[in-house]
Structure 1
Amino acid sequence: MSYLLSALMATALLCSQAFGKTVTGLFKSEVARLQKGQFITNFMYQGDAGLVVCQLDNPSLAAEMESRLLLYPNVDEDWVNLSCSERLTRAEFTISLSQEEHNQTIPRQSSPTVWKALYADRYTCQDAAVIPSHGDLTFTVLLLNADSAGNPLEHFSAEEAGLQTFYFLLLLAYFVSSCIYVRPLYQALRKGGPMHTVLKVLTAALALQGFSAFCNFIHMARYSRDGVGIPLMDSLAKFWDMVAQVSVLYTLLSLCVSWTLSRGRKPQSRPLQWEQSPASTAVAVGGVVTQGVLLLWEQYSASGSQHHSYHSHQSLAGILLIALRVTLALLLASVLYQIISTERSTLKRDFYICFAKGCFLWFLCHPLLVLTSAIVNEHQRDKVVTIGVVLCQSIAMVILYQLFLSRSLYWEVSSLSSVSLPLTMSRTGQRGRY
């Protein structure tokens, strides 16, 4: 597992990028000719007071080359089939670049609208013209929506608005919960017991999810001010989230498979302990490796999109991830059905049912939210999936936590006695405490 986590971290840090709404780069005549206009960025404007600011380091060279910044709203499907000259003439706004700074106000948008920014110059549509060997133009483009005061200072695109507030509230909930439950949790971990390993893994996964939320908040707080954010924090947020997901997956698969394999050989006096065997370890590791590879593939596929699209799953890797989660949910359902249908103890059956609820919420929330997001507005889909997945997985973790933590005395006592649970608890006089 340590080798897998190291590979996950290295790949996430190397491949992940944060594309903000302060875009810095080079205007290149060769690229503009090849692409029929050099693509700069996309931005979704909403409401009033939208603004585009373009800053140049060499305005005299830009004027000599007849450099232009072109803005297009709602690019249609016929875009790729247009000729170079037709594409340039369809621009809603054409900004002639001849000064150090140019400001362009975006008219009021009745609904959130995606605007595309392209660069072109006198050589873009002249395939026979020789491009002189001059230096490239260094530029900085700022794209701004109106903030709460109506001023164009908000770097968040319409589909990103509100995510910073969500992560702040999530961090606040983590902080309050940790203040309340850290002491009883520490005591439960010190006490040990048959489910000690499960509690440690769940604690580590919750902590990793908290670190991911913290990194996301720090990145977005900076992003809201400069439109770039902190790419390292964005990468770490994705990494911690991936590690938490594979940790929980390994735990759930190990528990279900080990319970199934051990039912025929383990005496009833030692129920429901996490006993690793070659078969259960192979199944768990196989599922973890598959999910880890798909998560890295999805991250690589989304490296050119916004930071919040990590959960959108619009690529082939994302579709395979959804299929994997549905398959694992069906596998767990089959395993738990076999266990529940043959279990005579009501308390154990209730335990398995609660465990199944946590598992299904963890695995199926993502596929269901992706399907549900199709009925909402386009600019809300990523937020619905991202916020929904984070909340549902956190709730699933809490369900599993409460399940194993509240029943820890039962597993500890039942592992030492062959009598039924109610008699055991009544004899120990501990029923009221749990």
Structure 2
Amino acid sequence: MARLLCALAAAVLLGAGVRGKTVTGLLRSDAARETRGQFISSFMYQGDGGLLVCRLDNSALATEKESILLLYKDTDPDLDTLSCSERLARAHFTIPLSQEEHNQTIPRQSSPTAWQALYADRYTCQESAVIPSHPDLSFTVLLLNADAAGNPLEHFSAEEAGLHSFYFLLLLAFFIACCIYIKPLHQALRKGGPMHTVFKVLTTALALQGGSALCKYIHLARYSRDGIGIPLMGSLAEFWDMVSQVSMLYMLLSLCMGWTLSRGRKPQSRPLQWEHSPASTAVAVGGVVTHGVLLLWELYLESEREHHSYHAGLSLAGILLLVLRVGLAVLLASVLYQIISTERSTLKRDFYLSFAKGCFLWFLCHPVLVLTAVIFNEHQREKVVTIGVILCQSISMVILYQLFLSRSLYWEVSSLSSVSLPLTMSRTNQRGRY
């Protein structure tokens, strides 16, 4: 497991850069010819006050090469089928790059609309012409929406607007919950007991999710000011979120499979706890490895789409990940049904039913939200899925915490007579207090 997590960290931190809306690079004639216009960036403008700013380091060379910046509405399905000259002529705006700085105002958008910027010059459509050995042009492009005051200062594209505030509120909720529950949770972890491993995994997963939210907030806070952010923080946020999901998946599979496979041979006096067996371990590790590989694959594919979240489920890897989660939910449903249907104790049945609610919420929230997001506008879908998945998985963890930390239910189901469990009510010296 440790080697798998190290591999995940290396892949995410080294391969999943996040490009912002302040774009810097080189304008190359050969790249523009090869792709019939060198792609610069895309951005979803909304309302009034949209602005594109292009700055060059060598305007004289740009004038000599007859360099131009082309702006297209990203709604033309025939753009890639046109010839080179037709493609350039189809641009909604053509900006001659003859000065060190060019400002292009985007007209009012009645609804959020994606635009893309391409670079071309005199050699782009002349396939037989020899490209002189000029140096490449260095450029900086700023893509801006209007802020609340109507000034073009907002680096967030329309599909990203609001995420910064969401992560702030999420961090605030984590902080308040931590202040309220840190003491009883610390006491439960310190006392140990049969469910000590579950508490540790839940706490680790929740802490990783909080760390992911913090890294994402820091990245977006910088991104709102300069359009670049801190790519390392963005990558760390995605990595911590993946590790949190992998930890939760391993715990849920291990618990369910362990309980089922050990029921026939476990003495009734033993508390309900994390049961290890070769079969349960194999199922848990297999599910975790498959889940981790699909998460990495999806993250790699979505990183090339420029600032998309892997929660969106737009790629083949995302679809396979959704299918895997539905399949695992069906597996857990069958396992829990076998346990509940043969369980005579009402308290234990209630325990398993509450556990099932937490499991199904964690597994099925992502597929359900992806299907539900279809009814929303395009610029809202990714935010609906991202925010919904984070909230649902956090609520699922809270449900499991309440289940295992419940004084009465946890004491009755887990041990019935043990005095070593956290938050137990059966200690002799405290019996009078209850």
- TM-score category, normalised to shorter length: over 0.9
Cα RMSD for the two superposed structures: 1.7
Give matches, 1:85-164, under 5 Å. Answer: 85-164=85-164
CA distance in 2, matches of 1:307, 1:55: 22
Offset at residue 268 of structure 1 (A): 1.2
CA distance in 2, matches of 1:410, 1:430: 15
| AA matched with 1:327 | G
Q: Are 1:27 and 1:119, in contact at CA under 8 Å, matched by a contact in 2? A: yes
What residue in structure 1 maps to residue 41 of structure 2? 41
| AA matched with 1:78 | D
Deviations 1:4-39 (A, max 9, x none): 111111111011111110000111101111111111
CA distance change for structure 1 residues 134 and 103 in 2, over 3 Å: closer, same or farther?
same
CA distance in 2, matches of 1:398, 1:117: 45
CA distance in 1, matches of 2:289, 2:215: 25
Give matches, 1:239-278, under 5 Å. Answer: 239-278=239-278
Deviations 1:108-160 (A, max 9, x none): 10000000100000001111111001100000000000001110000000000
CA distance in 2, matches of 1:288, 1:430: 43
Deviations 1:240-292 (A, max 9, x none): 00000000000000000110011100011114211211111111101100001
Q: Are 1:308 and 1:386, in contact at CA under 8 Å, matched by a contact in 2? A: no
CA distance change for structure 1 residues 198 and 415 in 2, over 3 Å: closer, same or farther?
farther
Give matches, 1:198-237, under 5 Å. Answer: 198-237=198-237
Give matches, 1:392-411, under 5 Å. Answer: 392-406=392-406, 407-411=409-413
CA distance in 1, matches of 2:84, 2:432: 78
Offset at residue 190 of structure 1 (A): 1.1
| AA matched with 1:294 | L
| AA matched with 1:118 | L
CA distance in 2, matches of 1:209, 1:425: 34
Identity of aligned residues (%): 74
Q: TM-score, normalised by structure 2?
A: 0.96
Deviations 1:290-343 (A, max 9, x none): 001111111111111243422101111111100000000000000000000110
Offset at residue 411 of structure 1 (A): 5.0
CA distance change for structure 1 residues 224 and 170 in 2, over 3 Å: closer, same or farther?
same
CA distance in 2, matches of 1:302, 1:233: 17
CA distance in 1, matches of 2:432, 2:117: 67
Offset at residue 413 of structure 1 (A): 3.5
CA distance in 2, matches of 1:273, 1:14: 39
Q: State whether structure 2 residue 9 is matched by structure 1 residue 9.
A: yes
CA distance in 2, matches of 1:398, 1:33: 55
Number of positions where the alignment pairs a residue of Structure 1 with one of Structure 2? 427
Deviations 1:326-361 (A, max 9, x none): 000000000000000110000000000000000000
What residue in structure 1 maps to residue 338 of structure 2? 338
| AA matched with 1:348 | K
Q: Are 1:361 and 1:396, in contact at CA under 8 Å, matched by a contact in 2? A: yes
CA distance in 2, matches of 1:342, 1:134: 79
CA distance change for structure 1 residues 432 and 80 in 2, over 3 Å: closer, same or farther?
farther
Q: State whether structure 2 residue 376 is matched by structure 1 residue 348.
A: no
CA distance change for structure 1 residues 432 and 107 in 2, over 3 Å: closer, same or farther?
farther
CA distance in 2, matches of 1:279, 1:82: 57
What residue in structure 2 maps to residue 69 of structure 1? 69
| AA matched with 1:318 | G
CA distance in 2, matches of 1:242, 1:265: 35
| AA matched with 1:343 | E
CA distance in 2, matches of 1:256, 1:393: 18
Q: Are 1:57 and 1:139, in contact at CA under 8 Å, matched by a contact in 2? A: yes
- Deviates most, 379-388 or 75-84: 75-84
Q: Are 1:15 and 1:300, in contact at CA under 8 Å, matched by a contact in 2? A: yes
Secondary structure (helix, strand or coil) at the match of 1:399 reads helix
CA distance in 1, matches of 2:432, 2:26: 71
Secondary structure (helix, strand or coil) at the match of 1:40 reads strand
Gaps of 5+ in 2: 420-424
